[in-house]
Structure 1
Amino acid sequence: VLELSVDGRRVNEDGYLEHVLRLRPGRSRKVQEHNKLRRCLRDFFPNRKCFVLPPPAEPEAMKHLEELDEGQLRPRFLQQADAFCRHIWDTAPVKALPGRAAVTGRMLASLAERYVEAIGSIGVLCLESAVTALAAAENRAAVAAAVAKYRQCMERELKLPTASQKKLGDAHQRCERRALNLFMARVFADKEQRYQLQLMVGGGTARRGVARGVPSPAEPHVAPAEQAAGGQGGVLPAQ
């Protein structure tokens, strides 16, 4: 078991880590070799924290560790493992790619598949090309989701076939804004706005499909016969 002590003095886990990463003074080859890895760790991980996990079970049980239930593990190990996980959940930043705020689980799985394929084919994986391919797939999905959102919104907002052109325009603005917000939340690496243009085209097609059931300003629309007080059908005047 690791003893958390420095020069006979008890220290906590973080203090022990900083002691281990301390650089030695001097310029000899031995000193440089000693400092090289430590300097890299200090530079790449400016925010550091140490967790010391004791052996998870008794020596005899360690031979069958994968078969043990959680209740058979040492309480101290479980406490430290829980503290480690809570620290990761609370402080670790969300994985991100250039041009996007966060990477979803689906995107991470897609990147992992591309890495495995490149390794399996003895190819050279180019991170930029992998991200470009991922962006294309995600952006196509973002366009499809936004168009579907627009269509669903329009169908919910309009009560066809009695809607007027004004109601169509008002509903279009509301639904277009919602669809665009959904698209912008998912799209990334679309510097040339190719996929935003696709969204505008797809949204226009969806709008024309909805507008077929809307009367034009020049032609009043005869609504289905309704049982009014006088028993006559109503007519919606053009607006």
Structure 2
Amino acid sequence: MDSDIHMPGPVCLIENTKGQLTAKQEALELLSAIKQPVVVVAIVGFYRTGKSYLMNKLAGKNKGFSLGSTVQSHTKGIWMWCVPHPRKSDHTLVLLDTEGLGDVEKGDNQNDCWIFALAVLLSSTFVYNSMGAINQQVLDQLHYVTELTDRIRTRSSPDQNELEDSDEFVSFFPDFVWTLRDFSLELKVNEELISADEYLENSLKLIHGTGQRDKEQRLNLPRICIRKFFPKKKCFVFERPAHGRKLGQLESLQDQDLDSDFIEQVAEFCSYVFSCSKVKTISGGISVNGPRLKSLVATYVNTICSGDQPCMENAVLALSRTENAAAVQKAIAHYDRQMSQMLKLPTETLQELLDLHRTIEKEATKIFMEKSFKDVDQEFLTKLGAELEKKQGDFCKKNLQASSDCCSTLIRDIFGPLENDVKMGVYSKPGGYCTFNQKIQELKKKYYQAPRKGIQAEKTLQKYLQSKEDMIDAILRTDQALTQREIQIEVERVKAEAAKNTAKIMEDMQQKNDQLLQQKEKSYWERMQQLTEKVQKEQAQIREEQQRATEHKLQEQARQLRENFQQENKKLQDEIKILYEREASRRCVVS
């Protein structure tokens, strides 16, 4: 589905049956096939407010998400439609249409709250759809946003309080778009034209001066939450699309049958969503693709069904464990593939094998670093290191065996004729030992000159010669041309040579062990260097997220201070005006 996403229509992503939410397997499998980054647009609002119509337009269709033409809520649960992104190549647009809030047939406000929370958690652009102007009644209906602190946690820390938790929402929450349907008012303030965005900002100004603190807090809570939680806000107003019974036939109506201003407003809305909606990301700036979105859906729904609060940190960690395990396997697969293609056994030296291992290990670790994230305590990097170290050990064993097999075959070919001559008694005569010894030296030279014997060459040869000591000793002792003293000297020489060869073999073994330890240490520090670079990059991303959240918080505080100042200033001006009026009245009385 990377290059050709074909979904002829929406499918149910999260089913809502009698208040029980269930992630649908068919939809999850569709998501798992989308390897591209996803831009997720979710729409929420009260039923029969035209949400599905806007989503169909974003999909480039007139039909798809069920519109319904009665007073009943049509969409149940959350439905999904994945289409190629019209503006961003190699991206997928995931549209989520939610069931209408406030459905009288459902009678379960808690269920609405979870649908609202899931739409926020899963989207990169969150569209809230309502009818008419923004007034206190509409804001009161948006109580779902005020309950998010009771529904969502950013971190799993048990001592994290709600206030601190909600302060971090801005780092993870989607952009907020408010669509106002059947809007008939003029966008004017103090007789001056304003934009829809300015209208939204004015509507979200805090209320002061009622004289009732509790009432002010209640009225301002939805305003505060929207301003505080969502990093970016946008507003669109739509005139009534048609009149009379035509409204129930929007799916079948052509553009010429609809109000021209409405058509233009819908086009402007779609253009904004296509151009400005970001790729869904999770903590650390990690882009979300289909499989990652699938994991988030499953984790959040399962958590809700278990009676717990969805926690963004836990969802990311659950996702990271799955992906980090897959990253380990991809890294190991690369290592196995490259080693099988490039390694020719036996290697001439151990260092040749270690150098190749180190090069491919570095590539494999790089693949892991690129594919992994949130590897707590480097659990999966440690697993990868241990697995690669084991594989290096396995290749070293294979290399030893290949060298031993090669050398044994070579020895049979070179020394086989000599053994036959010994059996035939060729060297059982005066001067035979000297001739035999000369032959041994010639054959050893031939053996040493043979290429690609590997690191077991000396050990295998010495092992062979040791196995023939009785045969060599018999030839030595039967040589009638040698005196007893010469035989004794030769025996001592042979023992000394054997001891020297044994010492050399032990030295080679120690050298190989030292090489392996050095390789292990180099591999460790190279992994640590790659890890340091990755951690620095992740920390920079986290600092950037925190800075954005802090800037948003400071901007909101500054805005609130300005509003408070303006309110106090107005109050002061009103008091001055009253004083002037009293003074004017007093003068009139005196005169």
Decide: shared fold, TM above 0.5: yes
**How far does residue 75 in structure 1 lie from its aligned partner after superposition?**
4.3
- What does residue 191 of structure 2 align with? 8
Q: Is 2:370 aligned against 1:185?
A: yes
- What does residue 359 of structure 2 align with? 174
- What does residue 226 of structure 1 align with? none
Q: How many residues align?
A: 219
Shift of the 151–78 alpha-carbon distance from structure 1 to 2, 3 Å rule, reads: same
- What does residue 205 of structure 2 align with? 22
- Which residue identity is paired with 2:200? L
Deviations 1:114-156 (A, max 9, x none): 22234345x2245255444433322222211111122223234
- What does residue 85 of structure 1 align with? 274
Contact kept, 8 Å, 2:327 with 2:372, in 1: the verdict is yes
After superposition, where does 1:133-152 map in structure 2 within 5 Å? 133-152=318-337
Deviations 1:146-204 (A, max 9, x none): 11122223234x15236544432222222111211222233334333222221112212
Report the 3-state secondary structure (helix = DSSP H, G, I; strand = E; otherwise coil) of the residue aligned with 1:192. helix
Distance (Å, rounded) in 1 between the aligned partners of 2:359 and 2:250: 58
- What does residue 96 of structure 1 align with? 282
Shift of the 36–167 alpha-carbon distance from structure 1 to 2, 3 Å rule, reads: same
Deviations 1:84-116 (A, max 9, x none): 331113xx7x5213xx44153322311211222
After superposition, where does 1:46-57 map in structure 2 within 5 Å? 47-54=232-239, 57=241
Distance (Å, rounded) in 2 between the aligned partners of 1:204 and 1:238: 21
Deviations 1:183-226 (A, max 9, x none): 2233334333222221112212333444455469x97968xxxx
Between Structure 1 and Structure 2, whose CA radius of gyration is higher? 2
Percentage identity across paired residues of the two chains: 27
After superposition, where does 1:1-239 map in structure 2 within 5 Å? 1-2=183-184, 3-26=186-209, 28-29=211-212, 30-45=215-230, 47-54=232-239, 57-59=241-243, 60-65=245-250, 74-89=263-278, 94-97=280-283, 100-105=284-289, 106-121=291-306, 123-125=307-309, 127=311, 129-156=314-341, 158-161=342-345, 163-164=347-348, 165-211=350-396, 214=399, 235-236=451-452
Shift of the 22–108 alpha-carbon distance from structure 1 to 2, 3 Å rule, reads: same
Deviations 1:32-53 (A, max 9, x none): 4333322222222354332334
Contact kept, 8 Å, 1:220 with 1:235, in 2: the verdict is no
Which protein is richer in helix relative to its size? 2
Shift of the 212–104 alpha-carbon distance from structure 1 to 2, 3 Å rule, reads: farther
CA-based RMSD of the aligned residues comes to 3.6
Deviations 1:54-84 (A, max 9, x none): 55x5345542445678998834412321223
- Which residue identity is paired with 1:174? T
Report the 3-state secondary structure (helix = DSSP H, G, I; strand = E; otherwise coil) of the residue aligned with 1:124. coil
Shift of the 126–163 alpha-carbon distance from structure 1 to 2, 3 Å rule, reads: same
Distance (Å, rounded) in 2 between the aligned partners of 1:70 and 1:139: 49
Report the 3-state secondary structure (helix = DSSP H, G, I; strand = E; otherwise coil) of the residue aligned with 1:49. strand
Report the 3-state secondary structure (helix = DSSP H, G, I; strand = E; otherwise coil) of the residue aligned with 2:328. helix
Distance (Å, rounded) in 2 between the aligned partners of 1:147 and 1:67: 55
Which protein is richer in strand relative to its size? 2
Contact kept, 8 Å, 2:292 with 2:319, in 1: the verdict is yes
State the TM-score, normalized to the length of structure 1: 0.71
Contact kept, 8 Å, 2:196 with 2:236, in 1: the verdict is yes
Report the 3-state secondary structure (helix = DSSP H, G, I; strand = E; otherwise coil) of the residue aligned with 1:50. strand
Shift of the 4–133 alpha-carbon distance from structure 1 to 2, 3 Å rule, reads: same
- Which residue identity is paired with 2:324? N
Question: Which segments of 5 or more consecutive residues in structure 2 lack a partner in the other structure?
Answer: 1-182, 408-449, 456-591
Distance (Å, rounded) in 1 between the aligned partners of 2:319 and 2:304: 18
Shift of the 10–172 alpha-carbon distance from structure 1 to 2, 3 Å rule, reads: same
Distance (Å, rounded) in 2 between the aligned partners of 1:193 and 1:48: 38
Report the 3-state secondary structure (helix = DSSP H, G, I; strand = E; otherwise coil) of the residue aligned with 2:370. helix
Contact kept, 8 Å, 2:346 with 2:454, in 1: the verdict is no
